[in-house]
Structure 1
Amino acid sequence: MKHGRYPFILSFLALPVGLYAWLVILPFAQAFQISLTDWSGSTNTFNYIGFDNYANLFKDDRLVIPALQHTGIILVVLPVVTIALGLFFAFMLNLGGRSRQGRIEGVRGSRFHKIVFFFPQVLSVAIIGILWKQVYAPENFGGLITGALTAVGLPAPANGFLADKRFVLAAVIGVLVWSAVGFYLVFFSSAMASIPRDLYEAGIIDGAGRFQMFFKITLPLLWDSVQTAWIYLSIVALDVFVLVYMMTPERGGPDAASEVVGGVIWKYAFNDGEQAFASAIGVVLFFAALTLAVVSLRFGPRERIEY
C-alpha cells in the first residue's frame, strides 16, 4: 500500500505543478532571457548584450530614480499605517465595548462596522481609481475634498490634489490605505476571535487597561498575523501601478511626482519600445519582492506562544 501511495500523490500534483511551471515560472524565465538582449518588442530579431541593461538601470534619473524613491516611500508607509489602523479598529470593535462584571465585550453593531470597512474590497482597482480621482478633483470639477476645504475657508490646491506635486503621492497612499484597511480589520478580527477571553478578564482583574491589554496580550498573540499582513502589503506596495495609472495625470505625474517602478516598466515597454530594458526592471522588482518576503519570514517570527 505504501509503494502505491507516492504514484497516487504524484498523479494529483502533476497537473497543478505543471500549470504553475508553465504559467508562472516559464514567463519569469523568459523575462530574464529577454532582459539580456536588446529586443525592442517590434521585431523578431534580437542580440544578446549580457548584463548591459542591468548596468544602465540606474542611469536614467528622469524616471527610474524617482520611481525607486516613491516606491520605497510607499513600501514603508503603506504597511505601517494600514496595519496600525487595522489593529486599532479590530481591537476597538472586538474589545472596545464597556466591561460588564469583569467581562470585556465588543462595541454594538461591530458586524455592521466590519461590513462597511470591508466594502472597498468588493470594488475593482479601476473603480477605486476613478472614484477617488473625482474626490481629489478641483472644486470647479466637483471635487469633494477641495470643495469641503473651500467651504470652511481653508486653502485647497487650485488644480486639485492629483495635479499638485506636493500632494499627489500622499493622495495615492491615502487611497491605498483606504482600500486595504477594511480587509485587514476583518483579518485581525478573525485572529482575535481565537484569543481566549479569559486572558482579558484576568487582565481586568489585575487592573490592566486597554492600552496594556493590547500590547501585553493582543499584539504578541497576533504577531504571526501581523507578519503575514506585512508581507502582503509590501507586495501591494510594489505593485501599485494600476492605481497610479488610473488616478494621476501623465500616468505617474505631474512631472513624475507619483512615478512608481511598475509605471517605469510600462512606459519603457509600450511607450519607448524598450522591452528588454523593461524586462530588466521587472526582474529586479521580482527579486526585490522575493527578498523582502524571505527576510520577513526568516527574521520576523517570534517564539510561538501557546494558550
Structure 2
Amino acid sequence: MRHGKYPFVIGFLLAPVTLYVVFVIAPYAQAFYMAATNWRGLSPGQFVGFENFERLFQDDVFWKALQHHGVLLLALPLLTIAIALFLAFMLNVGGGAKQGVMVGVRGSKFYRVVFFLPQVLAVAILGVLFQAVYRADESGLINGLLGSLGVEPLGFLINPNIALWSIIGVLVWQAVGFYVVLFSAGMASIPKDIYEAAMLDGASRVGLFFRVTIPLLWDTLQVAWVYLGIMAFDAFAIVWTLSVDQGGPDGSTTVLGAEIYRNAFVFSKYGYASAMGVALFFLTLTFAALSLRVSRRESVEM
C-alpha cells in the first residue's frame, strides 16, 4: 500500500493540475508576454520590453483609476464590514437572553433572507435598477423622495463629486447580505456560554460586541477584508453598466478594469491593455499579502 501511494496521488492530481495549468497559468503567462509587445490584435506584435509599463506610469488616466481604487479599498470594506457586523450581531444575539439563551431580534430569520436578496442579483440587473434609483430628475426613486421634501434633485451619476460614492453605495448594498450570512455563521460557532457569562458580569450589548464578538470573530473579519479588497479591484462590471460613459462623467468613476477593456476592445491596444492587467494583478496580490500580514494576530481560544 505504501509503495502505491505516490502513483495513486499523482494519477488523482494529474487531470486537475493539467486543467489549472492550461486554463489559469497559461493565460497569465500569455498576458505577461503580451504586456511586453505592441500587439494590436491583427498582425503579430513586436517585442518592446518595458515600454508599455513606462508609458503606463506616465498615463494620467491610469493614476486617476488607481486613485479611485484607493477610495474603494478604504470605503467598501469599512462600510460593508461595519454594517454587516452590526446586522449579524442583532440577528444572532441582539435580542438578549431569553430563558437563559442568547437570541436574535424578533423576525431574525426573515431578515436574513431579505438582507441576502441583493446578493443573488446579476450586476447587469443592478446597473439597470440603480439607473432608475439614481435618475437625476424627480422620476428617480431617491430624487422623487427628495422632491416631496422640497429638496432639489441631485445628480448622483452625473455629478463628478458624488458619482463614485453613488457607485460605492451600490457595491455596499449588494455585498452586505453575503457578509451578514458569513458573520452570522462565525457568531454561531461562538459558544453561547461566553455571551451569557459576559452578561452576568454586567456587560452591555456594546460591550458584548466589542469585547466578545469582534475578538472571537477576527479570522472571519480578516477573510472578509481581503475578499472586499479584491472586490474593490474588480469593480469593472458595475462601473461599466451604471456610470455615465462607462467611467464618467469626465473619468470620475473609471477603474483599471474599465481602462483595460477600453484600450483592448475600443482602441485595439492589446499590449498596453495587458500591461494594465499585469499591474492590476500585482496590485491585487500585494494588497492581499499585506492585509493578511498586517491583520495577523494570535487566535483566541474558545
Q: Which bin holds the TM-score, normalised by the shorter protein?
A: over 0.9
Contact 1:102 1:204 in 2 (8 A): no
The one-letter code sitting in structure 1 at the alignment partner of 2:14 is: A
Alignment of 1:179-258 (within 5 A): 179-258=174-253
The one-letter code sitting in structure 2 at the alignment partner of 1:57 is: L
The one-letter code sitting in structure 1 at the alignment partner of 2:55 is: N
Q: 1:61-104 CA deviation, whole Å, 9 max, x = no partner?
A: 1x212111111101111011101111110001111114335543
> What is aligned with 1:104?
102
> What is aligned with 1:135?
133
Q: Which runs of 4+ in 1 moved over 4 A?
A: none
Q: 1:167-202 CA deviation, whole Å, 9 max, x = no partner?
A: 210110000000000000000001100100100110
> What is aligned with 1:146?
143
Question: How far does residue 54 in structure 1 lie from its aligned partner after superposition?
Answer: 0.6
Q: 1:183-228 CA deviation, whole Å, 9 max, x = no partner?
A: 0000000110010010011001110111111111110111000010
Partners of 1:17 and 1:291 in 2: CA distance: 25
Partners of 1:109 and 1:3 in 2: CA distance: 58
> What is aligned with 2:91?
93
Partners of 1:165 and 1:297 in 2: CA distance: 34
> What is aligned with 2:39?
39
> What is aligned with 2:5?
5
SS of equivalent to 1:99: strand
SS of equivalent to 2:279: helix
Partners of 2:227 and 2:153 in 1: CA distance: 34
Question: How far does residue 7 in structure 1 lie from its aligned partner after superposition?
Answer: 1.1
Pair 1:162-2:157 in alignment: yes
Contact 1:78 1:173 in 2 (8 A): yes
The one-letter code sitting in structure 2 at the alignment partner of 1:10 is: I
SS of equivalent to 1:104: strand
> What is aligned with 1:59?
58
Structure 1 range deviating more: 172-181 or 1-10: 1-10
Partners of 1:242 and 1:275 in 2: CA distance: 19
Count of aligned positions: 302
Q: 1:118-162 CA deviation, whole Å, 9 max, x = no partner?
A: 00111111111111111101225x2101111111111222xx311
Question: How far does residue 47 in structure 1 lie from its aligned partner after superposition?
Answer: 0.8
Pair 1:290-2:288 in alignment: no
Pair 1:172-2:167 in alignment: yes
The one-letter code sitting in structure 1 at the alignment partner of 2:45 is: F
Contact 1:244 1:258 in 2 (8 A): yes
The one-letter code sitting in structure 2 at the alignment partner of 1:16 is: P
Contact 1:39 1:45 in 2 (8 A): yes
Partners of 1:296 and 1:163 in 2: CA distance: 34
SS of equivalent to 1:251: coil
SS of equivalent to 1:153: coil
Partners of 1:305 and 1:98 in 2: CA distance: 23
Q: Tell me how large the CA RMSD over aligned residues is.
A: 1.2
Contact 2:97 2:196 in 1 (8 A): no
Unaligned runs of at least 5 residues, structure 1: none
> What is aligned with 1:270?
265
Partners of 1:101 and 1:28 in 2: CA distance: 57
> What is aligned with 1:26?
26
Alignment of 1:66-77 (within 5 A): 66-77=64-75
Contact 1:40 1:274 in 2 (8 A): yes
> What is aligned with 1:17?
17
Contact 2:260 2:276 in 1 (8 A): yes
Identity %: 50
Partners of 2:265 and 2:101 in 1: CA distance: 60
Partners of 2:296 and 2:148 in 1: CA distance: 49
Unaligned runs of at least 5 residues, structure 2: none
Structure 1 range deviating more: 287-296 or 183-192: 287-296
SS of equivalent to 2:44: coil
Partners of 1:281 and 1:31 in 2: CA distance: 10
